């Protein structure tokens, strides 16, 4: 198996390992195209990237594509991923806002928005380094179990378990959007290099299935076994079943 597995003690060391990889990527290629995730997992990475920036790291030539956005939430909605990225990274580093891409969850024609997003990624020359978290059900991006490996950016009906997992960010579970736009499995697999991060015991089953299970659409992250350059950065709790 081509996966490079790094097991570290806890969330902070997971964040430090992943941030180091992102740092190296941008040092080697200042105009890198990064694929970014939201949620709890990458928060420590973004914090460290802001610290690196405060010590001189330059983001001015970096381009970013986020994995996903909720349908119906605009950039000002507190739980939109555009807002999340603004708060945790974009407003705190010298990235050019015109080079930060996130699917538009308010697009009238969602199908056209998906095609536009894939085209933007293509025009940028593809993603150099993709950061991924993993859902407790094994999803990557919002590619829920059953998503075809050939999928490009598409509109997703979120799984019940994902709605439950993400309800913690909303006032109540009925406020969690039921749909999202997500980069597809194929879009993710086209990234030149991938980091999959996971922290905590709630991710242990998904990590086990992704790494040692059969490659199956039932566990979207298992497709990563077929990618030539994946680094798994997991803390001990998430790695406890490996």
Which residues contribute to the site for ligand F6R (CB under 6 A)?
A: 37-41, 67-68, 133-135, 139-142
The answer to whether 128 is a known catalytic residue is no
Q: CA-CA distance, 42 to 233, in Å (whole number)?
A: 11
Structure tokens at 122: 């293509």
DSSP code at position 140: B
Q: CA-CA distance, 64 to 131, in Å (whole number)?
A: 11
Nearer to ligand F6R, 82 or 139 (CB): 139
Nearer to ligand F6R, 35 or 128 (CB): 35
The answer to whether 77 is a known catalytic residue is no
Taking the complex as a whole, the smallest distance from the CB of residue 174 to ligand F6R amounts, in Å, to: 19
CA torsion sign for 32, 37, 38, 41 is: negative
Closest CA to 198 of 241, 157, 160: 241
The contacts of residue 67 (CB under 8 Å, 6+ apart) are 35, 36, 37, 38, 132, 140, 141, 142, 182, 183, 188
Instruction: Note whether 29 and 61 are within 8 A (CB).
Output: no
Nearer to ligand F6R, 21 or 58 (CB): 21
Nearer to ligand F6R, 34 or 134 (CB): 134
Q: Give me the catalytic one of 139, 165, 166, 227.
A: 139
Q: Give me the catalytic one of 113, 144, 165, 235.
A: 144
Structure tokens at 123: 């025009």
- Using Cβ positions, the residue closest to ligand F6R within the complex turns out to be 133
The answer to whether 68 is a known catalytic residue is yes
Taking the complex as a whole, the smallest distance from the CB of residue 94 to ligand F6R amounts, in Å, to: 23
Taking the complex as a whole, the smallest distance from the CB of residue 224 to ligand F6R amounts, in Å, to: 13
Q: Give me the catalytic one of 66, 137, 143, 166.
A: 137
Taking the complex as a whole, the smallest distance from the CB of residue 56 to ligand F6R amounts, in Å, to: 28
Burial of 83 from C-beta contacts in 10 A (0-12 / 13-18 / 19+): middle
The answer to whether 212 is a known catalytic residue is no
Which residues belong to the active site? 68, 137, 139, 144
């Amino acid at each position: 198996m081509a996966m490079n597995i790094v097991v570290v003690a806890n969330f902070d060391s997971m964040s430090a390992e992943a941030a180091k990889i992102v740092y190296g990527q941008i040092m080697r290629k200042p105009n890198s195209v990064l694929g970014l995730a939201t949620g709890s997992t990458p928060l420590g990475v973004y914090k460290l990237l802001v610290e690196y920036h405060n010590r001189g790291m330059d983001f001015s030539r970096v381009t970013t594509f986020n994995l996903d956005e909720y349908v119906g939430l605009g950039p000002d909605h507190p739980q939109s991923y555009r807002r999340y990225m603004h708060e945790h990274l974009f407003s705190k580093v010298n990235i050019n806002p015109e080079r930060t891409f996130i699917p538009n969850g308010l697009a009238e024609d969602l199908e056209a928005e998906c095609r536009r997003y894939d085209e933007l990624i293509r025009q940028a020359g593809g993603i150099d380094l993709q950061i991924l978290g993993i859902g407790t059900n094994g999803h990557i991006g919002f590619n829920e179990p059953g998503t075809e490996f050939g999928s490009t950016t598409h509109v997703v009906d979120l799984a019940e378990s994902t709605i439950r997992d993400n309800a913690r960010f909303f006032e109540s579970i009925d406020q969690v959007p039921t749909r999202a736009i997500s980069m597809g499995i194929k879009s993710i697999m086209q990234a030149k290099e991938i980091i999959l991060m996971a922290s905590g015991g709630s991710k242990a089953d998904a990590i086990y299935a992704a790494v040692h299970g059969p490659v199956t659409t039932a566990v979207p992250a298992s497709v990563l076994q077929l990618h030539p350059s994946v680094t798994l950065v997991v803390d001990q709790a998430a790695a406890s079943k490996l």
